[in-house]
Amino acid sequence: MQKGTIGVTTDNIFPVIKKFLYSDNEIFLREVVSNAVDATQKLKTLSSVGEFKGELGEMDVRIAIDKEAGTLTVSDRGVGMTAEEIDRYINQIAFSGAEEFLEKYKNDANAIIGHFGLGFYSTFMVSKKVEIRTRSYKDGAQAVQWSCDGSPAYEMTEIDKADRGTDIVLYIDEENKEFLEPQRIETLLRKYCRFLPVPVIFGKEQEWKDGKYVDTDKDKVINDLTPAWTRKPTDLTDEDYKSFYHDMYPGADDPLFWIHLNVDYPFKLTGILYFPKIKSNLDLNRFKIQLYCNQVYVTDSVEGIVPDFLMLLQGVIDSPDIPLNVSRSYLQSDSNVKKISTYITKKVADRLQEIFNSDRKQFEEKWNDVKLFIEYGMLSDEKFNERAMKFALLRNTEDKYFTFEEYKNIIAAEQTDKDGNIIYLYATDKVAQYSYIEAATARGYDVLLMDGQLDAPYIGMLEQKLEKSRFVRVDSDILDNLIRKDNAKEVKLTAQEREAMTTVFKSQIPAIDKCDFMIMFEAMGENAAPVMITQSEYMRRMKDMAAIQPGMSFYGELPDSFNLIVNTDHALSKRVMAETDAACQERIAPLASQLNEVNAEIARLNDARKDKKDDEIPVADKEALRNAENTVADLRKQQDAVYSEFAQGNDLVKQLIDLALLSNNMLRGEELSKFVKRSFGML
Ligand code: ADP
Ligand code: MG
């Protein structure tokens, strides 16, 4: 028997390993099973090059639990080890690796999140003792047993072992009894070993017999040896891709598109990424991209490896070249990882372009489902943006789809304003903005539907990318002003008329929570609506952005500001003006002439104090000015009262306002029922 100490300087690294890695201790199973798979693959290679001449025979990896003995055993029929090899690979290398690892990460708890190849020594996280019983494939090799209880001391003895290969026997410790439960082990095997390239066997297949499940003679193979991503795309049908997807994500809808990744140089990477059809946010958290290393599951947190905007995709990435035993911050600066991320972005863009080119119809049908991914990508990744500008689609309110290029050609003639800007009209709600869409299309304009979650920032981005282009929501102004072809027609109102109409209309707008109205006048022609409501594009965008950007909450709290626009050309507006004049003139005339007088007085006083310093102005003049200003305010109030009182009794004004609110979906509840009653009354 050989005794010795393993190659570490730290007295006892195992308590440290246990403490550090406790939360992720389940990965020991992945490590032991993948070592068994490695040993199996090595022997197959040796056999294929003629270095091993014996029978390979059955090459399965078997996992067995012995509850009584308290052991979990992983057995393979791979290369095995000689005593000398144990000394070299286990005593020296594995443990020095362990020490180095701990040295490096003892102050960086974040690094230790279970994505690294801890290797053989991770078994000590769950075992009070570990035995290796192994016989090398080499002719006449002596079988040996190595055993270690977690202190740096180990024992090695010669044993009898009938078969070539290795048994790793873990004596599970008190705190980790869970790993003696078949259910728990099966779950872990299905998580980490599901796609390993060598059969992994755990227990027997079961069948339903006499009212219960019983074991059959058939071994239960946990894994799929050749998962879709390891196969050639030419050997796979659409059904293969879909069924692999459903295996990975039970309960998900069919994926929209997929991308088979396969590179050899300058890094190795294979995988399949799927564009999912997202039903709910829940799926996004549940179904994530899984990262594998040579078919061994590593993690489903792929931040840093996959570009952010593609984190919403699903599927598998398998690469031996992603450094797994490093912290996340390091990952982001690793040049291989950067290349991988760039590669994936390019592949995704290429694939989308390819589908667009070869099957435009399918692409359009799925556009609404993939749009979120693509817009997110275009907003967050410059390279992707460049590529996607060629296949990203715009959808109009008639459900037709266009590329940017196509759309520009379609609207350029009708929708270029007097300054040469192309105006992209859009709606965010086909129902609520119906009347505006209708008016714009009647004018020969086209209206886009931009109702996606990201469309507010997306529009901002497009305005930067598309030359001389502006996006204008269809209800943000009167039709003539949406795309200004020439200078606006002049509104012919006297100052007094303006004041009268402003008060008449403003006084009758029902109070609507968090909404402010400004009264404006436009000469829109006899055929346009008499009164309409618009919302400033700028303010609305600020509020839209505030909703998704925390730093801008200030805008979010402001009331919505709307414009109530009176069309001074319309017969009904003219009638309101005439009626106002007829009803109020008698009472307004004396107020107006007083106002004129006082205003003249104010002008005179202001004139007199021009170019004078404050202390040069006579006290009496200051007093007179203040009085005059108070009088003006008072007279105005009286005027307003006259107009409001008139408006209060004027159903036409109320009806015009309500109709405008109604076509904007803003007339609700009590105001709506009042409107209906008033309408009957007027009929
Ligand atoms: P790694 O797998 O990264 O090389 P490990 O710590 O997991 O590191 O294993 C250390 C070494 O121990 C392996 O490289 C291999 O030489 C040897 N080894 C471990 N398990 C087995 C096994 N089941 N059969 C043969 N050799 C093994
Ligand atoms: Mg290993």
CATH number, domain of 189, equals 3.30.565.10
- Ligand that comes closest to the CA of residue 94: 1
Of 63, 88, 120, best ligand 1 pocket probe by most atoms within 8 Å of the beta carbon = 120
Asked if pLDDT for residue 130 goes beyond 90, the answer is yes
Helices and strands: H and E segment counts in the chain: 22, 22
74 CB near ligand 1 (under 6 Å): no
136 CB near ligand 1 (under 6 Å): no
276 CB near ligand 1 (under 6 Å): no
Question: Is 479 or 115 the better-scoring residue by pLDDT?
Answer: 479
- Ligand that comes closest to the CA of residue 325: 1
84 CB near ligand 1 (under 6 Å): no
Domain end point (choices 436, 452, 482): 482
pLDDT score at 116? 47
pLDDT score at 461? 94
State pTM to two decimals: 0.75
Instruction: Tell whether 214 is covered by a domain.
Output: yes
Question: Is 220 or 512 the better-scoring residue by pLDDT?
Answer: 220
User: Averaged over 452-480, what is the pLDDT?
Assistant: 90
Residues 6+ apart with CB under 8 A from 478: 522, 524, 528, 532, 534, 565, 567
pLDDT tens profile 63-103: 999 999 999 999 999 999 999 999 888 887 666 555 565 56
Query: Ligand 1: which residue has its CA nearest to atom 18?
Result: 35
Asked if pLDDT for residue 17 goes beyond 70, the answer is no
Asked if pLDDT for residue 329 goes beyond 60, the answer is no
Asked if pLDDT for residue 109 goes beyond 50, the answer is no
Tokens of 409: 């050609």
Query: Ligand 1: which residue has its CA nearest to atom 1?
Result: 119
Domain end point (choices 450, 482, 514): 482
Instruction: Tell whether 365 is covered by a domain.
Output: no
pLDDT score at 405? 95
- At 366, the pLDDT band (50, 70, 90 cuts) reads very high
For residue 117, the ligand 1 atom closest to its alpha carbon is: 3
Asked if pLDDT for residue 430 goes beyond 50, the answer is yes
Question: Is 374 or 96 the better-scoring residue by pLDDT?
Answer: 374
553 and 640 inside one domain: yes
Q: b or e along 585-624 (b: 16 or more beta carbons within 10 Å of the residue's beta carbon)?
A: eebbeebeeebeebeebbeebeeeeeeeeeeeeeeeeeeb
Rounded to a whole number, what is the largest CA-CA distance in the chain?
125
375 CB near ligand 1 (under 6 Å): no
Instruction: Tell whether 581 is covered by a domain.
Output: yes
User: Averaged over 438-464, what is the pLDDT?
Assistant: 93
Instruction: Tell whether 383 is covered by a domain.
Output: no
**Mean of per-residue pLDDT scores for the chain:** 87
pLDDT score at 113? 34
User: Averaged over 609-625, what is the pLDDT?
Assistant: 85
For residue 31, the ligand 1 atom closest to its alpha carbon is: 7
- Ligand that comes closest to the CA of residue 90: 1
Quote the ligand 1 centre to 145 CA distance (angstroms).
Answer: 15
Asked if pLDDT for residue 663 goes beyond 80, the answer is yes
- Ligand that comes closest to the CA of residue 134: 1
For residue 121, the ligand 1 atom closest to its alpha carbon is: 6
Tokens of 175: 């705190």
120 CB near ligand 1 (under 6 Å): yes
- In this structure, are strands 127-135 and 144-148 parallel, antiparallel, or unpaired? antiparallel
Quote the ligand 1 centre to 648 CA distance (angstroms).
Answer: 91
509 and 462 inside one domain: no
- The three-state secondary structure class of 396 is strand
- Ligand that comes closest to the CA of residue 133: 1
63 and 210 inside one domain: yes
- Ligand that comes closest to the CA of residue 166: 1
- Any idea which of 160-169, 377-386, 390-399, 542-551 has the lowest mean pLDDT? 542-551
Asked if pLDDT for residue 112 goes beyond 50, the answer is no
Q: What is the CATH number of the domain that holds 473?
A: 3.40.50.11260
166 CB near ligand 1 (under 6 Å): yes
Asked if pLDDT for residue 438 goes beyond 90, the answer is yes
Quote the ligand 2 centre to 136 CA distance (angstroms).
Answer: 17
Asked if pLDDT for residue 299 goes beyond 90, the answer is no
584 and 444 inside one domain: no
659 and 555 inside one domain: yes
Instruction: Tell whether 147 is covered by a domain.
Output: yes
pLDDT score at 177? 96
User: Averaged over 175-195, what is the pLDDT?
Assistant: 96
Query: Ligand 1: which residue has its CA nearest to atom 17?
Result: 89
90 CB near ligand 1 (under 6 Å): yes
pLDDT score at 111? 38
Query: Ligand 1: which residue has its CA nearest to atom 7?
Result: 119
477 CB near ligand 1 (under 6 Å): no
Asked if pLDDT for residue 5 goes beyond 90, the answer is no
Query: Ligand 1: which residue has its CA nearest to atom 8?
Result: 119
98 and 20 inside one domain: yes
- At 13, the pLDDT band (50, 70, 90 cuts) reads low
Quote the ligand 2 centre to 394 CA distance (angstroms).
Answer: 51
> Percent of the chain scored above 90 by pLDDT?
60
207 and 232 inside one domain: no
- At 27, the pLDDT band (50, 70, 90 cuts) reads confident
Domain end point (choices 439, 461, 482): 482
235 and 216 inside one domain: no
User: Averaged over 348-363, what is the pLDDT?
Assistant: 95
86 CB near ligand 1 (under 6 Å): no
For residue 238, the enclosing domain spans 228-359
- At 251, the pLDDT band (50, 70, 90 cuts) reads confident
What is the rounded CA–CA span in Å between residue 582 and residue 625? 34
460 CB near ligand 1 (under 6 Å): no
CB 83 within 8 A of CB 144: yes
- Any idea which of 342-356, 426-440, 525-539, 581-595 has the lowest mean pLDDT? 525-539
Q: What does 614-659 look like in DSSP terms, one character per residue?
A: GGGS-HHHHHHHHHHHHHHHHHHHHHHHHHHHHHHT-HHHHHHHHH
402 and 256 inside one domain: no
119 CB near ligand 1 (under 6 Å): yes
> Percent of the chain scored above 70 by pLDDT?
90
User: Averaged over 37-55, what is the pLDDT?
Assistant: 91
81 CB near ligand 1 (under 6 Å): yes
Quote the ligand 1 centre to 39 CA distance (angstroms).
Answer: 8
210 and 242 inside one domain: no
Instruction: Tell whether 265 is covered by a domain.
Output: yes
Question: Is 281 or 188 the better-scoring residue by pLDDT?
Answer: 188
Instruction: Tell whether 368 is covered by a domain.
Output: no
CB 71 within 8 A of CB 80: no
Asked if pLDDT for residue 652 goes beyond 60, the answer is yes
Place of tokens 């050899």: 264
Q: What is the CATH number of the domain that holds 266?
A: 3.30.230.80
User: Averaged over 383-408, what is the pLDDT?
Assistant: 96
Instruction: Tell whether 488 is covered by a domain.
Output: no
Query: Ligand 1: which residue has its CA nearest to atom 14?
Result: 89
Asked if pLDDT for residue 114 goes beyond 50, the answer is no
- At 411, the pLDDT band (50, 70, 90 cuts) reads very high
Give the count of domains, the chain.
4
87 CB near ligand 1 (under 6 Å): no
How many CB atoms lie under 10 A from the CB of residue 494?
8
Which residues on adjacent β-strands are paired with residue 139?
Answer: none
- At 110, the pLDDT band (50, 70, 90 cuts) reads very low
233 and 311 inside one domain: yes
162 and 137 inside one domain: yes
